[in-house]
Structure 1
């Protein structure tokens, strides 16, 4: 990116500093400044960067994005209804262009000690708790856009579930981008913390309401205490002209269980990084995902499973369907460190190409420094199974219907793992309307 563009981002950061200095504690201001320094040092990545080798982000890098201003009045409950959460029994925190909107949220009576709200509210009511966990992670320090989000975010979600508490309803983090002008950006940041033996399900959803060239730059930090359990669902359904870059990291303590399932079906260019650190023995970690790419869109999924302790298991299944001129990228890495004996790790990436013009770059990786482990990885890229197609047609099913059945079954292998019925239903309905047929 040209130097003048980086100077513009620096100016966007510097402008509100004086106001922030009167509203935010010194530790948070220093946290922002360090993140901005890392961003300007790293710069916007290009295809010369190995981690971005197959992800050309020229439309994002060509000019800077201005921070979005608050336009909450332009969003009402119809947006919540449209994405399927209006009637869902849940705790819902709604953010419009990165800012918390309580009128569009659904807050319920909580167990003693549970906190659900915005980072701004938490900073006022629980500053010590926020400082403890917000400064605890460094996994995102090498990610340029994560640093930009940490530096520029104006608000985000804070969820804290204390020891021994199991949430009886899902927690939905609904992020709405309105694209109020040309090249605007919002920077949602979420901090999710579960104490010892706590449990919760979280749905992190990103949607857009218009067709502007907006950028969502999201950073999500998850901390699981010993024996804690979290099901986390990431649903990215932004408008086809928008850009989405997200980074999510989970730190999982001993005996913890973390399950992540991401569904990416929106945006012109989307990049999502998921990092899971197994920071104790007997951790179970599952990373599953599905991505649908059509038109000229690009969706990139990067995952990193970090096995640092013995007797941990990880399982990963990512599937993609590409049609027209769509382009997909999958880069999944399993790191098994020297002390992580008795690791059991499995990784699979399967891609269905429905067009000769669609393209996938897939790179499953194993990096193993222990000698008593079971690790497998692999990738499969192909078209519809001709034998299965013949089987269906032999039973009187027309060609188009048979192809549609096989395409839907391919996607359902991942989406059927969504454990929240209304979320699974909404995803299924969206896919039924969006999934293409093969192009003959």
Structure 2
């Protein structure tokens, strides 16, 4: 009889424990084992849990992924170098991870200003573990799912970004996570600490070799101190046979500004949770997203914005384009706590279904416990507008081209909101690449 999922990962932990970073830190060893014990008891989420009722992870659970590469880094070949060159964004500080491990030979950090630390999490755990102990241990006993517990147990590498007070990066940081080995699960852990008045923009980019089956289970923690400005942009281009589970947790302090965008294009099954706490006065956050699915893909976005103090402002705008027999889930919750007077919150989710078998489950939510607020939310699900198609047809555009143009315009509405020119240009090329040649000539 084959081992259950908890039995498999318990055995994997025994196999790799000695090579995990920070193994000489008693507090980290204790945190890893507590997280593993939690997973052994809780397991993977099921459809009986409210937050997972539309997303079945049974296919992921059936796989017995290895938690460390089976081949040494020196087995990486020239094809990987070509992939990285194609995926790297221009004019960025590039940090590359292949199969869950930092690759300095392909990373190009460039000149970093004073007060900016950009390195791998494994290196940070060796050099300054005291700066990470509180952040990592505070999540003990508070895992929203078995995936979070697995990440805590097996995290081996990721990005460590710290900006001192007043420090600013003019060019964005590009964190490129590339999967090239089948049957592997990686657990990247990224930590971003932006101290008072600092400023940074980050692109977290996940990609994989086409046709490979593997799994990514990533967690990103962001702390934005007083008056800090942080942008976090996530581009998910995994293999269409891959699994992608991600969480982004944000703690905002007085006067801070946080902007997020999430672009989900790949993966057989993908789930992203974004949790933002506006934990002081005069904070602002913006969450934008675009998911485009086809075949039998399943993409799930769960977001939660907690307004806990007065004078907070949040804006959320997500769009989805679905074809084939694909399915998408959007669950966006905004909670206005009793002390959060004069909150200004707006949330919108719009979906375009291009086939009869495509399906979307959308659930925008507002929970308001304060009486002096301005809040709104809404969702739409529909097909292409027949009048708009007729208008284009009347101007000599054939039916296929008219539909493609309208779909492009629908998706481009999210892309053009991006402030980062390199990422905006890359996404526009990806969108254009899906259009027929005759349509490209019209643009």
Is the shorter-chain TM-score for this pair beyond 0.5, marking a shared fold? yes
Q: Tell me, yes or no, if structure 1 residue 60 matches structure 2 residue 38.
A: no
Match for residue 373 of structure 2?
373
Q: Tell me, yes or no, if structure 1 residue 156 matches structure 2 residue 158.
A: yes
Cα 1:139/1:208, change in 2 over 3 Å: farther
* 1:341 match: secondary structure: coil
1:167 to 158, 164, 169: 169
Instruction: State the Cα distance separating 1:66 from its structure 2 match.
Output: 1.6
Cα 1:94/1:18, change in 2 over 3 Å: closer
Match for residue 25 of structure 1?
25
Instruction: State the Cα distance separating 1:84 from its structure 2 match.
Output: 4.2
Query: What stretches of structure 2 of length at least 5 have no aligned partner?
Result: 438-443
Match for residue 232 of structure 1?
232
For 2:334 and 2:343, the matched residues in 1 are separated by: 11
* 2:341 match: secondary structure: coil
Deviations 1:212-261 (A, max 9, x none): 22010101111111000011100000111111011111111110000000
Cα 1:436/1:292, change in 2 over 3 Å: farther
Q: Answer yes or no: is the 8 Å Cα contact 1:139–1:249 preserved in 2.
A: no
Match for residue 126 of structure 1?
128
Cα 1:330/1:71, change in 2 over 3 Å: farther
Number of equivalences = 432
Q: Tell me, yes or no, if structure 1 residue 413 matches structure 2 residue 417.
A: no
For 1:165 and 1:174, the matched residues in 2 are separated by: 23
For 1:56 and 1:284, the matched residues in 2 are separated by: 34
Q: Answer yes or no: is the 8 Å Cα contact 1:225–1:254 preserved in 2.
A: yes
State the TM-score, normalized to the length of structure 2: 0.93
For 2:137 and 2:22, the matched residues in 1 are separated by: 20
Instruction: State the Cα distance separating 1:37 from its structure 2 match.
Output: 2.2
- How do residues 257-268 of structure 1 correspond to structure 2 at under 5 angstroms? 257-268=257-268
For 1:431 and 1:103, the matched residues in 2 are separated by: 31
Instruction: State the Cα distance separating 1:375 from its structure 2 match.
Output: 1.2
* 1:434 match: secondary structure: coil
* 1:121 match: secondary structure: helix
Q: Answer yes or no: is the 8 Å Cα contact 1:91–1:169 preserved in 2.
A: yes
Q: Tell me, yes or no, if structure 1 residue 187 matches structure 2 residue 191.
A: no
Query: What stretches of structure 1 of length at least 5 have no aligned partner?
Result: none
Q: CA RMSD in A?
A: 2.0
For 2:372 and 2:173, the matched residues in 1 are separated by: 39
Instruction: State the Cα distance separating 1:394 from its structure 2 match.
Output: 2.5
For 1:302 and 1:436, the matched residues in 2 are separated by: 33
Q: Answer yes or no: is the 8 Å Cα contact 2:401–2:436 preserved in 1.
A: no
- How do residues 23-422 of structure 1 correspond to structure 2 at under 5 angstroms? 23-69=23-69, 71-72=72-73, 73-74=75-76, 76-85=80-89, 88-136=90-138, 141-178=143-180, 180-181=181-182, 183-422=183-422
State the TM-score, normalized to the length of structure 1: 0.94
